[in-house]
Amino acid sequence: MLKVDAEFWRKYTKVYDTLNNVISYQELLADVCNELQIKSGDKILEAGCGTGNLAIKMKGLGAEVIGLDSCKEALDVYKQKDKDAKAVLWDLSKTPLPFPDNYFNKITCVNVLYAIAVEKRESIVKEFYRILKPEGKVVLVNVEKNGSVCKIYFHHLNLLFREKGAINMVANLLKFLPNALRLLYYNLFIVVDRIFFFVMNS
Ligand SMILES: C[S@@+](CC[C@H](N)C(=O)[O-])C[C@H]1O[C@@H](n2cnc3c(N)ncnc32)[C@H](O)[C@@H]1O
């Protein structure tokens, strides 16, 4: 049984970018950017930025992005992909967060809070509101309570099948399957180790 600790995230980071080949993940990142209505010069915190995929996409849309993550290896990958990346090594459950009040126009936290102990979540979200400017926007994304993480792969394969046919779909599946299986395996432990679903009272 794996424990969801620093070593766990180090291993997770090694296979995470396999998701860049998965259409559903690309759709998710695009949806987050659309939801944020990014304007040039927006100062955005990507809380739990991992290997920086969303941070890099938002920067490409003109935002000034700070990526925060507790996994040094993930931030190293992010900085390899973007030499000028502003990356902060920090554990979100350690509050207050290292930013002044009213600092960011926007904050994203995508598939991170569900992996953090339930009793820490409320203070983290309160911190997001402290460091957010008035009229700012926060986008939180979490795995559905009863949703299967497998669904993102099924959606991807279904789209590929319809657009490129069965042979291309199988070839694509074989390419990312080993790492995808490892990611699914790791997600099982997040489910077991933490309270999986996200509950927050307003
Ligand atoms: C599923 S990845 C999401 C990465 C990114 N947001 C994305 O959508 O591609 C989860 C990330 O949360 C980070 N994480 C987990 N617990 C954390 C914590 N307590 N503080 C900061 N980052 C954390 C992990 O290191 C990992 O990089």
Q: Does a structural domain hold residue 161?
A: no
Query: For residue 201, is pLDDT > 50?
Result: no
Check pocket membership of 142 for ligand 1, CB cut-off 6 A.
no
Of 85-94, 115-124, 139-148, which range is least confident? Answer: 139-148
Check pocket membership of 93 for ligand 1, CB cut-off 6 A.
yes
- pLDDT, residue 200, reads 45
Check pocket membership of 69 for ligand 1, CB cut-off 6 A.
yes
Q: Does a structural domain hold residue 5?
A: no
The CATH number given to whatever domain includes residue 89 is 3.40.50.150
128-140: pLDDT as tens digits: 999 999 999 999 9
Angstrom distance (rounded) from CA 132 to CA 116:
21
Angstrom distance (rounded) from CA 183 to CA 36:
27
Beta-bridge mates of residue 47: 68
Structural domain boundaries enclosing 37: 24-144
Q: Does a structural domain hold residue 130?
A: yes
167-184: pLDDT as tens digits: 988 888 888 888 988 988
Angstrom distance (rounded) from CA 51 to CA 81:
8
Angstrom distance (rounded) from CA 130 to CA 120:
16
The total number of structural domains in the chain stands at: 1
Q: Does a structural domain hold residue 91?
A: yes
Q: Does a structural domain hold residue 104?
A: yes
Instruction: Report which of residues 196 and 88 the model is more confident about.
Output: 88
Q: Does a structural domain hold residue 7?
A: no
Tell me what the mean pLDDT of segment 133-149 comes to: 82
CA-nearest of 71, 110, 101 to 87 is 71
Token pair for residue 128?
């997001």
Ligand 1 centroid from CA 40, angstroms:
25
Ligand 1 centroid from CA 143, angstroms:
13
Contact 2, 186 (CB under 8 A): yes
Q: Which residue has the tokens 């969801």?
A: 4
Angle at 136 between CA 128 and CA 16, to 5 degrees: 55
Neighbours of 134 (CB within 10 A): 5
What is the atom index within ligand 1 of the atom nearest the CA of 46? 6
Q: Does a structural domain hold residue 172?
A: no
Ligand 1 centroid from CA 116, angstroms:
9
